[in-house]
Structure 1
Amino acid sequence: MVLPGLDGGGEWLHEFLAAMAPRFDARALAYPNDPTLDYDALVEWAWPQLPAHEPFALIAESFSGPVAIRLAARRPLQLKALALCASFACAPRPPWSPLGLAALPAWLLHAAPLRQAPLPWVERAVLGRWSDPQRRERLRATLAALDPAVLRARLGEVARVDARAALGDVAVPTLYLRAAGDRLVSADSWEEIRRVRPQAECVALQGPHFLLQARAKDAAAQIGRWLAASMKDLAN
């Protein structure tokens, strides 16, 4: 089960989901477009949708890392693995800033209209050198569909989040897929996860923050190999 990034939808995950098949039946959840749903509420919303009668893994992109961590900490019976992609357990620090998002003033985090930020700036931040006309158009459509109130609320949640205690309660194998060209989440996020959960594994893949979009096939291959090895280890 794949939990989406800040946009909350699974529309731009189709290539990654297809690359996971046929070995894995990967499905994406799409969050309700509701600005009142904070991290706690999203955990409660997602919990009853987890498979109850078949083994599954949680794959969380960026924003959804804390949701997946808190779900995994509840130890659902059929959960076998957790994979975090370009994500974080607590408020991340961009590579270009010495400060985390929590240090930014509230007025900046809630500035509007965020979805109307210049496309070239957003493109550089999330796609970098992996941008192309097709991805630019998809990014444009994603930004146009975002509710500014939802986006502001989720950015505020990211700035305050701390799921490290829950991470310590996770009992399944954990993978961190790091985007080596990430301009939004620094390597500090992986280091913090490793500090809390030393058993976690990290795989670095050349790519931007939108790793599951820009490097869909390679990301699926890395996660698929790790899942297959983890399942084999659990069976032994």
Structure 2
Amino acid sequence: MIAVRCLLLPGMDGTGELLGDFVAAMAPEFDADIVRYPDDAALGYDELTDYVRARLPHDQPFVLLGESFSGPIAIRIAAARPAGLRGLVLCASFARAPSPPGWLLPASWLGWIGTVLPIDRVPTRLTAATMLGAWADDKWLARTREVLATLDPATIRARMRAGSTADETAALSRVACPLLYLRGRQDRLVSRRSWEHIRATLPQAKCVELDGPHFLLQAKAVEAAAAIKLAFET
């Protein structure tokens, strides 16, 4: 059996360093390939979309997966219907600027908070608790700390601003391939409204809910991989 490529676009950190367990869980049916973004605050959604587009496979079918921040990039690319694209997966992500459960203010306010928040001074335990919730054990605390130490706060602020004003609804409506949405029931960052907006725009989209946090591909790697394999079984 020839493995299908899975081009994996990481979340806001852009490194993919926390996705090793998920990559392993996708084998052997899928050859998961992480696109690591340059740590450059000047690269917004337009530039990162071009960066990913230049790395699309040309010699085999592939599934495109956008995690969290990367959802709008994955949607833009899928809307262009590149050759070989078999499906689109959005994990804990959005087509239109997201907000946490219970958030009543405009999503753009989250981007403003990001510009004034001393990101490099936020305790790792707090970041891990937000991203991982009950799954923030010592192992994940250590791994999260290692990744955070490599990030440029200016880049994270720029990506927070970009995400807080994103709206790829029009592009989403042009997606022709099957779309699978993976949602964590304990997601503290992206509320169910993001999935509901996607479903309203693209009624044929499917959703799989897992008992997990925003970092769904990290905390529920095996279950997330199984859902993707079932949706796009070869």
Same fold, judged at TM 0.5 (above): yes
Shift in Å at residue 115 of structure 1? Answer: 2.9
Q: Which amino acid aligns with 2:78?
A: A
Please list every run of 5 or more consecutive structure 2 residues that lacks an aligned counterpart in the other structure. Answer: 1-6
Moved more, 164-173 or 120-129: 120-129
* Number of corresponding residues: 228
Q: Which amino acid aligns with 2:167?
A: D
Q: Which amino acid aligns with 2:143?
A: R
Q: Is the 8 A contact 2:111 2:162 kept in 1?
A: no
Please list every run of 5 or more consecutive structure 1 residues that lacks an aligned counterpart in the other structure. Answer: 232-236
Moved more, 141-150 or 185-194: 141-150
The separation in 1 between residues aligned to 2:173 and 2:111, in whole angstroms, is: 30
Q: Secondary structure at the match of 1:37?
A: coil
CA RMSD, 1 decimal: 1.2
Q: Under a length normalisation based on structure 1, what TM-score does the superposition of the two structures give?
A: 0.93
| Residue-by-residue CA offset, 1:68-101 (whole Å, 9 max, x unaligned) | 0001011101101000000000110101312242
| Residue-by-residue CA offset, 1:108-147 (whole Å, 9 max, x unaligned) | 2202421321223212210100111110101111111110
Check 1:145–1:105 CA distance in 2 against 1; reply closer, same or farther (3 A cut).
Answer: closer
Q: Does 1:102 align with 2:108?
A: yes
| Residue-by-residue CA offset, 1:139-181 (whole Å, 9 max, x unaligned) | 1111111101100000000111101110001110000001111
The separation in 2 between residues aligned to 1:42 and 1:105, in whole angstroms, is: 18
Q: Which amino acid aligns with 1:190?
A: W
Equivalent residue in structure 2 for 1:15, among 21, 32, 35:
21
Match of residue 129 from structure 1:
134
Q: Is the 8 A contact 1:173 1:200 kept in 2?
A: yes
Q: Under a length normalisation based on structure 2, what TM-score does the superposition of the two structures give?
A: 0.94
The separation in 1 between residues aligned to 2:120 and 2:88, in whole angstroms, is: 30
Shift in Å at residue 214 of structure 1? Answer: 0.8
Shift in Å at residue 224 of structure 1? Answer: 1.2
Equivalent residue in structure 2 for 1:35, among 35, 38, 41:
41
Alignment of 1:1-236 (within 5 A): 1-104=7-110, 106=112, 108-228=113-233
The separation in 2 between residues aligned to 1:60 and 1:186, in whole angstroms, is: 17
Which of the pair is proportionally richer in helix? 1
Q: Is the 8 A contact 1:91 1:100 kept in 2?
A: no
Q: Secondary structure at the match of 1:11?
A: coil
Shift in Å at residue 102 of structure 1? Answer: 1.1
